[in-house]
Structure 1
């Protein structure tokens, strides 16, 4: 039985299946979608800007968490498989990963 350190999961819990991870991500994204709609209503209702900014920050953090789970899957799956396959494929996957991180971290 494989174990991984999934954010928020018990450290010795079995790794969730691909379908479970997808379901978890979709649930998170639907919650974020609702949060964004709430932020829109706050702006429409001319609510306190500090409260709006707090909610924007929370939504941003939630999206980052989803992105990190996707990145974790990519590294554990694609990059690891490529590293075991051959050096050229591993280099290509690592270059793609670096480019993706560069774009994600650019602000």
Structure 2
């Protein structure tokens, strides 16, 4: 399945944000920052990863609904995309 450029851009932006958050988390742990602060940032990074995954699944579902035969031939039947969604849920 080919992702639309807007989806690629959006997911890349989210992943770069997570990348920065993880770097910040590493520094926080190494610096002995307060546990509550670390967990708050960890939660934000986790949420950003979830959002990136949900955006990918939403794009896959759109693809399946708009082009069901092509999607199925590419290995992205609606059932397969639903299974991917459940992995994130």
The answer, yes or no, to whether TM exceeds 0.5 is yes
From 33, 41, 50, the counterpart of 1:55: 41
> Relative contact order, CA 8 A, sep 6+: which one is greater?
2
Cα shift at 1:27: 1.7
Query: Structure 1 length as normaliser, TM-score?
Result: 0.67
2:59 matched residue in structure 1: 73
Q: Which has the larger radius of gyration?
A: 1
Question: Paired residues, what number?
Answer: 82
CA RMSD, 1 decimal: 2.1
From 63, 78, 97, the counterpart of 2:81: 97
Deviation string, structure 1 residues 38-60 (Cα, Å, up to 9, x no partner)? 00100001100000000000001
The list of structure 1 runs, each at least 4 consecutive aligned residues, that deviate by more than 4 angstroms after superposition, is none
Cα shift at 1:94: 2.6
Q: Report the Cα distance in structure 2 between the residues aligned to 1:43 and 1:19, rounded to whole angstroms.
A: 36
Counterpart check, 1:44 vs 2:30: yes
Q: Report the Cα distance in structure 2 between the residues aligned to 1:62 and 1:33, rounded to whole angstroms.
A: 10
2:8 matched residue in structure 1: 22
Query: Structure 2 unaligned runs (5+)?
Result: none
